[in-house]
Structure 1
Amino acid sequence: MGLNADEKITEGVNAPTFVPSLPIPNVQELVRKDPLHIPERYVRSQEEMVIVKDVSSHSSAIPVMNLSLISDGNKEELSKLDVACKDWGFFQLVNHGVPTQVLETMKDAAAKFFELPLEEKSKYSVTSHDIQGYGHAYVVSSEQILDWYDALLLVVYPKQYRKLEFWPEGFKDTIEAYSSELKRVAEALLGSLSLIMGMQKDTLLGLHKELVQGLRVNYYPPCSMPDQVLGLSPHSDTSTITLLMQEDNVSGLEIQHKAEWVPVKPIPNALVVNVGDVMEIWSNGKYKSVEHRAVINKNKARISHALFFFPRDDVDVKPFDHMIDAQRPKMYNTVRYGEYLRQSMSRKMEGKAHTDVAMIET
């Protein structure tokens, strides 16, 4: 997601549009009508469905960071943050200060929305020229293999870019509270990331001109043959950073680490944080925007809540000069963020293939 350069005053007036997605069936409805049938367009090859082996040691090694210590400038915790972004590109965040009630209310409201009849949810369906609303993204071809999910996609900040007609009735205050709390967390993390990159605390936040925030609530229905489908194809995020809330009792997120898929086991009330492509480019590849995917549960539905934080469309993103040296030559060209975002959305999710446009050919 990304936003147009010109500023608006009225909510929803001339709000930005994104690369639209082709219309496809509602997966939740497919399962409701025939739980045992998997349409051919969702079936993956054996090569794609690499099964996670016994990587419990890797899973337990995914860094767990303490935002309270990070924000206090604790040197040991800041050093751990640097290593987490460099070696993993992912970490789980605890002591982040978001009230448990805010998290639980968001989970409850999302579950109630997806439990509504299709006719009710369809009132918020994406339009033919955008992806905000209820539906899908990154479907660009009638031949591509589809992911096993439905989603609600919204731009939350800045407020003047909201399209409130896509915010479900009874869900608005909850989204506002949840997104506001996580915006605070994201700003704190960006401040600390600035420091460990050797810059002033407000440098990264200032480079955004305006911190844009997109919400994606994913609903993954159960599947009778989960080893044949994926909830989300492997991809990296085009954001600066992403904050994700998982279910406490249903896992599904997996990340690439040392050529293996490692499950990110939920920690109650923790937030999962990952480095996005923008941070990878700014750090000249020191911090990794890592491929991740979502797998499906046979018996239980799963809902995840992702908030993407990214620059406005008119921001030029390039490696910082002080991140370039003889050991790490310049790896990326300057990209205009809006153009980078939209070229990634004009293709299916396919690992890190969309980052090619930013890479310097060697």
Structure 2
Amino acid sequence: MKNDIMEFFKLPLKEKEAMKQLPGGIQGYGQLFVQSEEQKLDWADMLVLSTHPFASRDIKFWPTNPTTFRDTLDKYSVELRKLTGCLVRLMAKDLGIKNPELLGILLSEHLQSVRINYYPPCKHASKVLGLSPHSDGTGLTVLLQANDVNGLQIKKDDRWFSVKARPGAFIVNIGDLIEIMSNGRYKSIEHRVVINTDKERLSIAAFHSPPFEVALRPFPELIEAEEERYRAITVGDFMKAYMTDRLDGKRLLESLKLKK
């Protein structure tokens, strides 16, 4: 997967733009994955593709150069769904969730998409960001860095900390949807990407979420002994709000918190 990512972004711009995002669309090659007019352009190019369910794939956006790209991404996405299933089961065990029907929401026909990122170097790196501060509007995000250039930072106690890239390791981020379903026991991670002055950075993020029709709310087992902290919303409505707003920390999630 790493090799195919690097080879794709080496292609001439004209060839990459053959897979350009359509107006109002999300999938394809471009510079935005949210559609807010208030969103500032980040210092990055990206390729966004839906990978699961199969019917959601828009194959015209899947590169044929390198020739191995489609097959590699297909196999990679399958293995990541298996990994995500293992992680969700472990998290459910930690939370005390035993209802298999509830677990099925995240394990059966969950949504999966990938965003392949290219962050070119910039001599004025301190004046730009590769990706604006935000938390992921998903369940779980699995990130793989394609080279050894650092840039990912996470926010804790109002300070930014760099995440060191480790060869062969995944970085797993909790998304907003898991924070809601866990009633805040698992917190989504606010993060950003900073730019290197001399070196490019490449990565692939895979996003996993429940189906659009699922009503998001804390698991019943978690609110028997504590107050419900988030108002209910469907995954589809949450995604629509997320994708049409600007990236701005955890603003959308904060708006769903119930006042005490």
- TM category (shorter chain) comes to over 0.9
CA distance in 2 between counterparts of 1:247 and 1:175 reads: 14
Higher strand share: 2
Letter in 1 for 2:58: K
> How many residues were matched structurally?
255
Query: Per the alignment, in what secondary structure is the counterpart of residue 219 of structure 1?
Result: strand
CA distance in 2 between counterparts of 1:132 and 1:222 reads: 25
How many Å apart are 1:125 and its aligned residue?
0.6
Partner of 2:110: 211
Q: What pairs with 1:312-331 in structure 2 (closer than 5 Å)?
A: 312-324=211-223, 328-331=226-229
**Within the alignment, does 1:249 sit opposite 2:148 as a pair?**
yes
How many Å apart are 1:203 and its aligned residue?
5.1
Stretches of 4+ moved more than 3 A in 1? 201-205
Q: What pairs with 1:65-76 in structure 2 (closer than 5 Å)?
A: none
Letter in 1 for 2:24: H
Query: Per the alignment, in what secondary structure is the counterpart of residue 249 of structure 1?
Result: coil
Q: Extract unaligned runs of 5+ from structure 1.
A: 1-105
Conserved in 1, the CA contact under 8 Å of 2:117 and 2:202?
yes
Letter in 1 for 2:231: N
CA distance in 2 between counterparts of 1:255 and 1:198 reads: 28
Partner of 1:138: 34
CA distance in 1 between counterparts of 2:125 and 2:8 reads: 24
Partner of 1:229: 128
Conserved in 2, the CA contact under 8 Å of 1:230 and 1:295?
yes
CA distance in 1 between counterparts of 2:125 and 2:60 reads: 34
Letter in 1 for 2:155: Q
How many Å apart are 1:205 and its aligned residue?
3.9
2:73 counterpart (175, 189, 212): 175
CA distance in 2 between counterparts of 1:249 and 1:201 reads: 41
CA distance in 2 between counterparts of 1:161 and 1:229 reads: 33
How many Å apart are 1:211 and its aligned residue?
1.3
1:301 counterpart (188, 200, 223): 200
1:277 counterpart (170, 176, 201): 176
**Within the alignment, does 1:196 sit opposite 2:94 as a pair?**
yes
Partner of 1:157: 52
Query: Per the alignment, in what secondary structure is the counterpart of residue 196 of structure 1?
Result: helix
Range that drifts further, 257-266 or 303-312: 257-266
Deviations 1:48-96 (A, max 9, x none): xxxxxxxxxxxxxxxxxxxxxxxxxxxxxxxxxxxxxxxxxxxxxxxxx
**Cα-Cα RMSD:** 1.6
2:240 counterpart (313, 321, 342): 342
Query: Per the alignment, in what secondary structure is the counterpart of residue 160 of structure 1?
Result: helix
2:231 counterpart (333, 342, 351): 333
CA distance in 1 between counterparts of 2:77 and 2:26 reads: 19
Query: Per the alignment, in what secondary structure is the counterpart of residue 112 of structure 1?
Result: helix
Range that drifts further, 198-207 or 297-306: 198-207
CA distance in 2 between counterparts of 1:217 and 1:350 reads: 21
How many Å apart are 1:361 and its aligned residue?
2.9
Conserved in 2, the CA contact under 8 Å of 1:241 and 1:279?
yes
CA distance in 1 between counterparts of 2:34 and 2:204 reads: 18
Conserved in 1, the CA contact under 8 Å of 2:39 and 2:247?
no
Deviations 1:145-165 (A, max 9, x none): 321111000110111111111
State TM-score, norm by structure 1.
0.68
Range that drifts further, 196-205 or 302-311: 196-205
Residues 201, 184 of structure 1: alpha-carbon distance in 2 compared, 3 angstrom cutoff: farther
1:118 counterpart (13, 19, 36): 13
Q: Extract unaligned runs of 5+ from structure 2.
A: none
Conserved in 2, the CA contact under 8 Å of 1:191 and 1:201?
no
Q: What pairs with 1:38-77 in structure 2 (closer than 5 Å)?
A: none
State TM-score, norm by structure 2.
0.93
Deviations 1:174-202 (A, max 9, x none): 11121111111111111111111112384
Residues 186, 339 of structure 1: alpha-carbon distance in 2 compared, 3 angstrom cutoff: same
Partner of 1:30: none
Conserved in 2, the CA contact under 8 Å of 1:194 and 1:202?
no
Deviations 1:93-115 (A, max 9, x none): xxxxxxxxxxxxx1111111111
CA distance in 1 between counterparts of 2:148 and 2:111 reads: 30
CA distance in 2 between counterparts of 1:200 and 1:139 reads: 38
Conserved in 2, the CA contact under 8 Å of 1:155 and 1:161?
yes
Letter in 2 for 1:140: S
Query: Per the alignment, in what secondary structure is the counterpart of residue 227 of structure 2?
Result: coil
CA distance in 1 between counterparts of 2:6 and 2:211 reads: 31
